[in-house]
Amino acid sequence: MTVSVFLFSLLGAMAIGMPIAYSLLVCGLALMAFMAATGALPAFDSQILAQRFVDGADNFPLLAVPFFLLAGEFMNAGGLSRRIVNLAMAWVGHFRGGLGYVAVLAAVIMASLSGSAVADTAALAALLIPMMKRAGYEVNRSAGLIAAGGIIAPVIPPSIGMIVFGVAGNVSITKLFLAGIVPGVLMGVAIGATWWWIAKRDEIQPAPRMAMGQRLKVTGEGSLALALPVVILGGMKFGVFTPTEAAVVAAVYSFAVGMFVYRELKWRELYRLILAAGKTTAVVMFLVAAAMVSAWLITVANIPGEVVAMLEPFMGNKTMLMFVMMVIVVIVGTALDFTPTVLILTPVLMPVVLKAGIDPVYFGVLFIMNNAIGLITPPVGTVLNVVCGVARISLDDSFKGVMPFFVAQLAVLFGLVLFPDIVLIPLKFLMR
């Protein structure tokens, strides 16, 4: 009955058009009222809800969110993103279907800089879709490729999604960051291979090969952008700074390079960029705070215990259990956005993961990857909607274009379900 109250209140509030954060609060109110009525709680106490709401946002690791978002704003405005695209163009732009490979390589590099799928996709789409249109590439397919590349950002560190999951699931964010490197690169390889299969039949003339001197010049211009992920990951691995402090380093570094080296970031733009990062942070933090209210009541109501009981037939087979949970997340991801899905499902599924003896870091990486794939599935598909706006195409057309890459990303996800050592062995090596 408690599960029914949870689902009915949450989905009912969403069905009438209530924002996700408020739907989570309504869900918390409904659960508390139900438990007070049945005697599971002594009484309905609104002060507890208020206290849990405040406590949900009062978490040191969440300070990384505004700084990584601010770093992304500085990168786009300061010319780092454009130089990454130029660098990719210099090395792979001359192959058949070259602009597609540029999109994939740039997506992987930019994912290691900002951690925001929407920001990376918007930047890449604005830079590359006009170029691909002029070159004669089919716009639906181009938009689909860029959308599929954009969702690598939540998987490769630094990842805002992993920070939120780490806080909600009490999992080491540093380990999540390091464990996400190989799966993120595999996602890039998968969409690159898919693009090769599609583009080999095209007759579009590739860009001329750049001279080696020009390539080295472009690479040198982009080297400062490439140094950022090395600084962040190296600093965390060797204990120089925490993930939260790494976010501050990223913001300061991208500001300094954009302002004083590339000189494309202007003082008059700072207010607009800080405001944009602040608005996005406010949305994320309000969601986190609201979700923590529901998460506490979910725990008190023993909903995870009921879910464990429902999944009991699969407990003896970790692979089958992971497969079932991933299918559930895929389905939920078509209806909910990235952050709400992470916040709602983490307190429900983590007890199942721990009881089954599944490594929580391994589960976290696949869980975040799965939610990232949900960003390119309609009807919500935030990243898909971003490329629709830039390319000026319908959601249906963009989904047709992204479908081959969507299948490739799912293949990587379920391949990692079958072979968990692909995630765990590199993690052990990097944690030495």
User: To the nearest whole number, what is the mean pLDDT of the chain?
Assistant: 90
**349: part of which helix (H) or strand (E)?**
helix 338-356
- Rounded to whole angstroms, the Cα distance separating 73 from 65 reads 13
Model confidence over 166-178: pLDDT tens digits? 999 999 999 999 9
- Residue 381 pLDDT grade (very low, low, confident, very high; cuts 50, 70, 90): confident
Q: SS3 helix, strand, coil % of the chain, rounded to 5?
A: 80, 0, 20
Between the alpha carbon of residue 348 and those of residues 19, 304, 398, the distances in Å are: 21, 5, 33
Q: Residue 383's pLDDT is what?
A: 92
Residues 6+ apart with CB under 8 A from 163: 61, 62, 64, 65, 68, 173, 243
Q: Which of 228-232, 236-240, 347-351 has the lowest mean pLDDT?
A: 236-240
Question: 378 preceded by cis ω (within 30°)?
Answer: no
Bond before 340 cis per omega within 30 degrees: no
Q: What is the pLDDT of residue 51?
A: 87
Is the distance from CB of 370 to CB of 325 less than 8 angstroms? no
Residue 18: which pLDDT band, with cuts at 50, 70 and 90?
confident
> What is the pTM assigned to this prediction?
0.90
Mean pLDDT of 413-424: 96
Mean pLDDT of 254-268: 94
Q: Which residue has the higher pLDDT, 56 or 154?
A: 154
* Gap between the Cα atoms of 226 and 154, Å rounded: 18
CB–CB of 391/333 below 8 Å? no
Residue 27, amino acid: C
| pLDDT reading at 3 higher than 80 | no
